[in-house]
Amino acid sequence: MIIHKGYENLNIVNPVVTLGIFDGVHRGHKTLISRLVDKANGTNGESVIITFYPHPRLVLSQDTTNLTFLTSLEEKIFLLEKEGVDHLIIIPFDHELSNKEACEFIEEILVKKVGTKYLIAGFNHHFGRRRDGDFETIRRCAESFGIVVEQVKALDSEKGSVSSSLIREALMMGDLDGANSLLGYDYFLNGTVVEGRHLGKEIGYPTANIDPDYKNKLIPKDGVYAVEVFLEGAGHFGMLSIGSNPTVNDDPGKKTIEVNIFGFEKDIYNSKICVVFRHWLRDEIKFDNISLLAEQLVIDKKMALRFLKK
């Protein structure tokens, strides 16, 4: 996949294009991308995804404090590279771009810069100023420039149409299995190992504290998870806790992400780490003392290994 930062001097052959944010690159996105790739292959063209950075909501929202997303730009690229797409165009998003009418965007960028021949839109796709460009607006305008337009239907699930918002909701509710099913892969978190308070080591379960690489990364619901950890090119089983550690911490506002990597004792401060969320184990619990917490951790580890070794 060739990555273009901007839309100048592209020189793409017979472009078949789709565009969107693609947060999470979930199963619904993959259905759309599969159609994109198939159409490009069938017309001797090249498949093109156009996305925007930063996320439009980070530019347009007055308060971005609590905005969270499934993937950073780097994670999105990593996932898209697996889908067989020829080109990814990353367009800088700013207020000037947000004020373009849908037809203006189509003419100036899709036609004149990209040379789009075939446009594939998602089931609920909108773009342009105030998101006024619905599918019919997009179709009429694009066809006036000789672009053939196709709309891909929604991918349905038991929980409704697969969407990034549905997945975010599932993760925040602790429905990890549901979220992973909608994603089509297990949710993951990239970060850096930072120094903690060493309390885990005192009770026989040393943990690596993780500082997420992407400050707007959605962190799943507080609780304990069975995870797989990828570190220095190798995979390890572990259990991860998200929350305030109420048994030993009196400040409920101070949350941490800590992973106990089974059978691993190496000093890994400042190392890059990727945690893949395999299974939800339990909610966070406040125990009367550290001894009871340690007893529960024995149970948690056994449960984690049972799930991870399946």
pLDDT of residue 162: 95
pLDDT of residue 199: 67
Q: Judge whether 170 lies within some domain.
A: no
Question: How many Cα atoms sit within 13 Å of 38 on the Cβ side?
Answer: 8
Q: Judge whether 299 lies within some domain.
A: yes
Same domain, 8 and 121: yes
Helices (H), the chain: 27-42, 56-60, 73-80, 95-98, 102-105, 135-144, 164-172, 176-183, 199-202, 290-308
Query: How far lies 266's CA from each of 50, 59, 142, in Å?
Result: 42, 41, 57
Per cent of the chain over pLDDT 90 is: 78
The pLDDT tens digits for 25-53 are: 999 999 999 999 999 999 999 999 999 99
Instruction: Answer whether residue 92 shows pLDDT above 80.
Output: yes
Q: Judge whether 176 lies within some domain.
A: no
Same domain, 125 and 210: no
Q: Judge whether 180 lies within some domain.
A: no
Same domain, 208 and 156: no
Q: Where are the beta strands (DSSP E) in the chain?
A: 2-5, 15-19, 46-53, 87-92, 118-121, 148-151, 156-157, 160-161, 188-194, 208-212, 223-231, 234-243, 256-261, 272-282
Same domain, 117 and 198: no
Same domain, 139 and 248: no
Which amino acid would we find at residue 129? R
Instruction: Answer whether residue 128 shows pLDDT above 60.
Output: no
Instruction: Answer whether residue 285 shows pLDDT above 60.
Output: yes
Q: CA 76 to CA 25: how far, in whole Å?
A: 7
Same domain, 153 and 6: yes
The CATH number for 149's domain is 3.40.50.620
258: CB partners within 8 A, 6+ apart: 196, 200, 207, 208, 209, 210, 240, 241, 245
pLDDT of residue 250: 66
The CATH number for 284's domain is 2.40.30.30
**Could you tell me the residue range of the domain that residue 83 belongs to?**
2-161
Same domain, 216 and 118: no
Other residues' Cβ atoms within 10 Å of the Cβ of residue 78: 14
pLDDT band at 111 (very low <50, low <70, confident <90, very high): very high
Same domain, 213 and 142: no
Same domain, 117 and 71: yes
Q: Is the link from the previous residue into 206 a cis peptide, with omega within 30 of 0?
A: no
Instruction: Answer whether residue 251 shows pLDDT above 70.
Output: no
Indicate the number of domains in the chain.
Answer: 2
Which amino acid would we find at residue 268? I
Same domain, 12 and 79: yes
Q: Which of 161, 177, 202 marks a domain boundary?
A: 161
Instruction: Kindly state the average pLDDT of the residues 280-302.
Output: 93
